[in-house]
Structure 1
Amino acid sequence: MGQRTRRAGRDEINLIEGGKNYGWPVVTYGTDYGGGKIGEGITAKAGMEQPLYYWNPSIAPSGLAFVGKNPYRSDWQGNLLAGSLKFGYLARLKLDNTRVLSEEKIEVGERVRDVLQAPDGFVYVLTDSGNGKLLKLLPQ
């Protein structure tokens, strides 16, 4: 069997466009779990795209949802939600087309396995524990 690369950090979001090179594993913000470099150990190279956003250290993202029309504050519309298995929160990324303006961490207290916006407009979060929960986010 071949050697498997284990990495820490550099979970990223890319704005995918045809014909562009997103660099893995040549460019990365992550490191091997043992602390060594991945690939050339560089974060940028001509002809390779930078991520729209990345987490370092890794949040172990799980589930990803764009928020459309919803019963929450209007500033949630168009945001991106990502669950964190590692830290037990839901990341709300406020977007401005091709930029992430800010990240809000919504504490869940358990590993987040999945997140989605249902047809009723509400956001539901599925946790990953012995007694996993299905949580419905309600507006404040």
Structure 2
Amino acid sequence: GAIWSHEHGPRGGDEINIIEAGTNYGWPDITYGINYSGTPITDDTHREGMAQPLHYWDPSIAPSGMAFYTGEDFPDWQGDLFVGALKMQKLVRLELDDRSIVEEEDLIASLNKRIRAVAMGNDGHLWLLTDSADGEVLRLVPPSP
């Protein structure tokens, strides 16, 4: 029932947040990123009354699509959060313990393709869309025994 969000920040500062009414997430008063020109946005990453992100990336991965895994083919991934990365050209698996991220794993980086969209399919598989002129729709399946 929670609203999970990812935020594509400037050079660093990409975030995962759980959106809650009345919460101040701090932008641009606090951030882990800098302007694209290299100048600081602020020197502050924390301030009283402002929420910290659940997770952040620095350097930026340029997050794109995001989905929770609810399939059965990868039992160890049940309930994990998957985020596509445009800049870093990978799929990121975030292992969760309730509302905490306890592990981060990079997947399919060897494809060297920007991951634009991530979705949990009705068929129980995780589906990805690459971002290029010859883009592809990919379905994650377990390796054959």
Q: Same fold (TM over 0.5)?
A: yes
Tell me if 1:123 matches 2:126: yes
Secondary structure at the aligned position of 2:19 is classed as: coil
Task: Give the C-alpha shift of residue 126 in structure 1.
Answer: 0.5
Gaps of 5+ in 1: 1-5
The residue type equivalent to 1:138 in the other structure is V
TM-score, with length taken from structure 1: 0.90
Q: Which residue number in structure 2 is paired with residue 70 of structure 1?
A: 72
Tell me if 1:61 matches 2:63: yes
Q: Which residue number in structure 2 is paired with residue 135 of structure 1?
A: 138
1:1-140 correspondence to structure 2 within 5 Å? 7-38=10-41, 40-72=42-74, 74-107=75-108, 108-140=111-143
The residue type equivalent to 1:114 in the other structure is A
Task: Give the C-alpha shift of residue 36 in structure 1.
Answer: 1.2
- Percent identical residues: 48
CA–CA distance in structure 1, aligned partners of residues 134 and 60 of structure 2: 25
Secondary structure at the aligned position of 2:18 is classed as: coil
TM-score, with length taken from structure 2: 0.87
CA–CA distance in structure 2, aligned partners of residues 101 and 83 of structure 1: 18
CA–CA distance in structure 1, aligned partners of residues 59 and 101 of structure 2: 17
CA–CA distance in structure 2, aligned partners of residues 49 and 89 of structure 1: 28
CA–CA distance in structure 1, aligned partners of residues 18 and 71 of structure 2: 22
Q: Which runs of 4+ in 1 moved over 2 A?
A: none
CA–CA distance in structure 2, aligned partners of residues 95 and 85 of structure 1: 22
Q: Is the 8 A contact 2:10 2:60 kept in 1?
A: no
Secondary structure at the aligned position of 1:101 is classed as: strand
Task: Give the C-alpha shift of residue 69 in structure 1.
Answer: 3.4
The residue type equivalent to 1:83 in the other structure is G
CA–CA distance in structure 1, aligned partners of residues 125 and 48 of structure 2: 42
Kindly report the root-mean-square deviation, in angstroms, between the aligned alpha carbons of the 2 structures: 1.3
